[in-house]
Amino acid sequence: MSHRIRYVMVGGFLGAGKTTTLGRLAARYRERGQTVGVVTNDQAEGLVDTATLRGQGLEVGEVAGACFCCQFDNLVGTVRALAERGAAPPDVILAEPVGSCTDLVATVIRPLRELFAAEFDVAPYAVILKPGHASKVLSSEGGTGFSPKAEYILRKQLEEADAVLINRVDELPADEVQALEELVRREIPGKPIVRMSAKTGAGFDRLMEVLDGEAGAGVTPELDYDVYAEGEAELAWYNGTADVAAADAFGLDALLTDVIGRMKEALAEQNDEAAHLKAVGVADGGFGVANLTSGDGPVTLSAASDRTVPAGGAAELILNARVAGDPERLTALVHATVQAACEALGAGVTLRDERAFRPGRPVPTHRMTDDPTPTALASTPAGAASA
Ligand SMILES: Nc1nc2c(ncn2[C@@H]2O[C@H](COP(=O)(O)OP(=O)(O)OP(=O)(O)O)[C@@H](O)[C@H]2O)c(=O)[nH]1
Ligand SMILES: [Mg+2]
């Protein structure tokens, strides 16, 4: 085939900085004159990430309903659809897997390389390290707020990486970054490490060099699918959309941060750890995004809409929450906090397109490892729900 698409997938735990990194990488590839498409992924439709990246003027395809590994054919189909949409296929596809997913080298990277080599030129698989949660997991000091099985997933994600990206160095003192790098070298040895900030762009020259390199042989660490599935199932997912009707004028960004702030407080009260809360607000052609990436972190406005919704006007909020907890409890919490935030403005609100669940057991389409011994995957009952 004359045109092979460079497939660049960047993994990492929930809230690690994948979408921010992909947005910045897209700009870097475009500066080099390359065309870019993006594929996002989630367990359900209505993705904040898709809205965020489209808001940056990117062509985005969404693989919804399950992770890439369980929807492999859908991933390939989505890339092909993106390729047909433009005048010419993109030079680069940037792909963001679900942040609770692992075993992606065996189930996505290797199948693409070994079965679709004519279409795809697969880049090294880089995985973003989320400092707050990862330093506690790698040092086994505990206190992440996640169960040991969810922590197992975070560690396995880093073990299968061709390169580890230590993100958020903009907000860490140099000695902490150094200590984190030493911890990674000790716990997950032999990998290139990039110190970076997806927020400021620090370290991205080095990241581009790493991604331009040859993919590794494909690290497929031993993985217990029972622990993996149970770890994912201890997380709760909520996606929904809120239609807000303004009685009086209000600032959209203030509403977004207030909603996430109220969710943060309510989660803390019931002792459920936030993996990532995000809210996109859309009004009058502008959009803003508010996030929270851990229970002890700050609420941030990662994109400002700078929009005032006028009296009688309307705004749409897309809400995605991933927490360690129960989906029904999470849904009740979202309802209560969104309603309280809107009530405080005298605004009306209706929630729709809601989905709340625990991710199902992953049942990958392909699984290519060097290990001939069957894993617990083989004992998966036929027809089991897939993640
Ligand atoms: N200070 C700082 N914040 C960052 C950095 N990278 C990402 N963030 C913030 O962290 C939050 C999560 O970033 P995302 O890029 O959405 O993370 P993600 O990995 O795509 O999250 P999920 O898709 O939910 O798993 C956002 O508020 C970002 O602005 C960074 O390098 N420094
Ligand atoms: Mg994301």
What's the pTM value of the predicted model, to 2 decimals? 0.94
CA of 20 to the centre of ligand 1 (A): 6
The average confidence (pLDDT) of the chain is 93
Average pLDDT over residues 170-178: 96
pLDDT tens for residues 189-232? 999 999 999 999 999 999 999 999 988 777 888 999 999 999 99
CA of 210 to the centre of ligand 1 (A): 21
Where do the H-state alpha helices sit in 121-251? 131-138, 148-159, 174-187, 204-212, 225-233
**pLDDT reading at 372 higher than 80:** no
DSSP string, 86-150: SSS--SEEEE---TT---HIIIIIHHHHHH-TTTEEEPP-EEEE-HHHHHHHHTT---SSS-HHH
- Token pair of 326 as six digits: 């129960």
pLDDT tens for residues 3-28? 899 999 999 999 999 999 999 999 99
Residues framing ligand 1 (Cβ under 6 A): 12, 14-20, 49, 99, 167-168, 170-171, 197-199, 276, 291, 293, 300, 302
CA of 373 to the centre of ligand 1 (A): 37
| Minimum-distance ligand 1 atom for the alpha carbon of 23 | 15
Distance of CA 84 to the CA centre of its chain: 26
Average pLDDT over residues 78-106: 94
pLDDT tens for residues 315-339? 999 999 999 999 999 999 999 999 9
Where do the H-state alpha helices sit in the chain? 18-31, 48-54, 72-85, 104, 110-115, 131-138, 148-159, 174-187, 204-212, 225-233, 252-269, 327-344
Split at pLDDT 50, 70, 90, the class of 45 is confident
Q: What pLDDT, on the 0 to 100 scale, is given for residue 270?
A: 95
Average pLDDT over residues 336-363: 97
CA of 169 to the centre of ligand 1 (A): 12
CA of 15 to the centre of ligand 1 (A): 5
Q: What pLDDT, on the 0 to 100 scale, is given for residue 232?
A: 95
| Minimum-distance ligand 1 atom for the alpha carbon of 275 | 24
Domains identified in the chain and CATH numbers: 5-231+361-379 (3.40.50.300), 236-357 (3.30.70)
**Among all ligands shown, which has an atom nearest to the Cα of 21?**
1
Q: Name the residue at shortest CA distance from atom 29 of ligand 1.
A: 302
Q: Name the residue at shortest CA distance from atom 14 of ligand 1.
A: 17
If one counts every other C-beta atom within 10 angstroms of the C-beta of residue 320, the result is 21
| Minimum-distance ligand 1 atom for the alpha carbon of 99 | 25
Among 56, 293, 301, residue to substitute to test ligand 1 (most atoms within 8 Å of Cβ): 293
